[in-house]
Amino acid sequence: MKNIKFPGRVSLWATASLFTWSLAWGGLFLGRAEARVLEAGVGQVYPRLSQALAAAQNGDQIRLHAGSYTEGPLVIAKSITLTGIGSAILDGKMKGTLLRVTAPDVVIQGLTLRNPGFSHTKDHAAIRLESLRARIENNVVENAHFGIYLSAADLSVIRGNQVRGLAQKESSSANAIHVWKSNGVLLEDNHVSGHRDGFYFEFVRNSVIQRNISTHNLRYGLHFMFSDGNRYEENSFDHNGSGVAVMYTRDMVMRKNRFLDNWGPSAYGILLKDISNSEISDNLFRGNTVGIHMEGSNRIKIHHNLILNNGWAARVQANSNDNRFEKNTFSGNAFDIATNGSDNSHTGNDFNGNYWDKYTGYDLNKDQIGDVPYHPVSIFSRLVERVPPSLILLRSFLVQVMDLAERVAPVLTPKTLVDEKPLMKSRLKRQP
């Protein structure tokens, strides 16, 4: 197998982006000694938020007091902080984008935003960012087409928001947090649900996505394309229509995420399409139709993952090469590995030192490594790839006999997809 270069520079890029963001914000606050606080809302100096926005100058803070306000669309064209006090609600009454941010260094925090407009031709959102270094924190977004939309919003922070939708059909819904052409972004501790895609990224680079929850979305919990050098850590993606799909990307790191209960005819824990030079480690894939699906994906290191109770633990298409599976735990899956390729179609895919609950070999020298190789591609999985309706025979006696015969004398399963050093014991102490 070729030497594989994995994305060690991802963390460096992400750290540099966050350091740059910190310096920019530090400089902004040092220059705000004369910043004013403008009180807006019921019984305040500015009864309407639009009036306070018109009066504000760069560096000012607007405090919107408790109440429900029918306003919008509103444009924030100055570098201000907008803070909700108590239950401060902005209701757009389905009339376009609620808050459009065109100035850099804007903070929006503590608001509830409801009912921005819907359009098939315009990307209306509760909050739309079109400038640098925004900070969107601890807001609640309800019944939005797009929840929070970033467009060329480098070095922005989206933290601690709840974005709840009521999507019924993919064709008439949009994404909870949508990021386009933005670099050095930090998204953390957000909870999104009820949209087409929970998180959607396109042309997003050198960013950090961590500790988010994306659940019960119609299509994907996470969906990104052309987004290199990003780090995804400690996120949870569960009960989404099709799981997670990542495409046309390199130098990606996915670590300590949970891909749970994404079940359906085209659902995956994660779909990897044309991904390269990446690392997937210490994740939990449980209860998905397919845990990991690889198509046209090369030079990926997949290690120390728990892959449990899925229909297919992993499907490795014939056009995926030079990938490495190490020290993973495969347990409770109907099929361990499936492929549509032959012996000659797989180049350099390496399975080494994984635990397989279906392995029945022996360990005479007691080194905790099986003395005979394990072939994770069963003859029945080969049949199902070619004749899908044959899946109805999954628990039949005939299939058990076929697989037993193939284990004794493997001649029909790919010789290149084999674990030469299967582990005898799982590192899994209890079901997570």
What is the chain's mean pLDDT, rounded? Answer: 88
C-alpha–C-alpha distance, residues 233 and 421, integer Å: 29
Structure tokens at 200: 């959607």
Does residue 110 sit in helix, strand or coil? coil
Q: How confident is the model at residue 399 (pLDDT cuts 50, 70, 90)?
A: low
Give the tens place of pLDDT for each residue, 302-314: 999 999 999 999 9
| Residue 432, pLDDT score | 62
Q: Choose from 1-15, 39-53, 378-392 the range with maximum mean pLDDT.
A: 39-53
Give the tens place of pLDDT for each residue, 347-377: 678 999 999 999 988 999 989 999 999 988 8
Q: Choose from 7-21, 266-280, 397-411 the range with maximum mean pLDDT.
A: 266-280
Residues 185, 150 contacting (CB under 8 angstroms)? yes
Instruction: Tell me what percent of the residues of the chain surpass a pLDDT of 90.
Output: 71
Structure tokens at 362: 């022996």
Structure tokens at 9: 């520079």
Neighbours of 259 (CB within 10 A): 29
Residue 306's contacts (CB-CB under 8 Å, 6 or more residues apart) are: 283, 284, 285, 286, 328, 329, 331, 428, 432
Whether 290 has a pLDDT exceeding 90, the answer reads: yes
Half-sphere exposure (Cβ direction) of 140: Cα atoms closer than 13 Å: 10
C-alpha–C-alpha distance, residues 269 and 356, integer Å: 19
**Phi and psi at residue 382, in whole multiples of 5°?**
-65, -40
Q: Rounded mean pLDDT of 401-420?
A: 67
End-to-end CA distance of the chain: 33
Q: Rounded mean pLDDT of 129-138?
A: 98
Domain boundaries, the chain: 1-255, 279-432
C-alpha–C-alpha distance, residues 195 and 165, integer Å: 5
| Residue 94, pLDDT score | 87
Beta bridge partners of 300: 278
C-alpha–C-alpha distance, residues 427 and 337, integer Å: 20
CATH H superfamily, domain 1-255: Single-stranded right-handed beta-helix, Pectin lyase-like (2.160.20.10)
Query: Alpha carbon 335 to chain centroid distance?
Result: 25
DSSP H helices, 320-396, are: 379-386
Q: Following CA atoms 62, 66, 72, 78 in sequence, which dihedral angle do they give, to the nearest 10 degrees?
A: 10
Whether 122 has a pLDDT exceeding 90, the answer reads: no
Whether 181 has a pLDDT exceeding 90, the answer reads: yes
Give the tens place of pLDDT for each residue, 12-68: 555 555 555 555 545 444 445 578 999 999 999 999 999 999 999 999 999 999 999
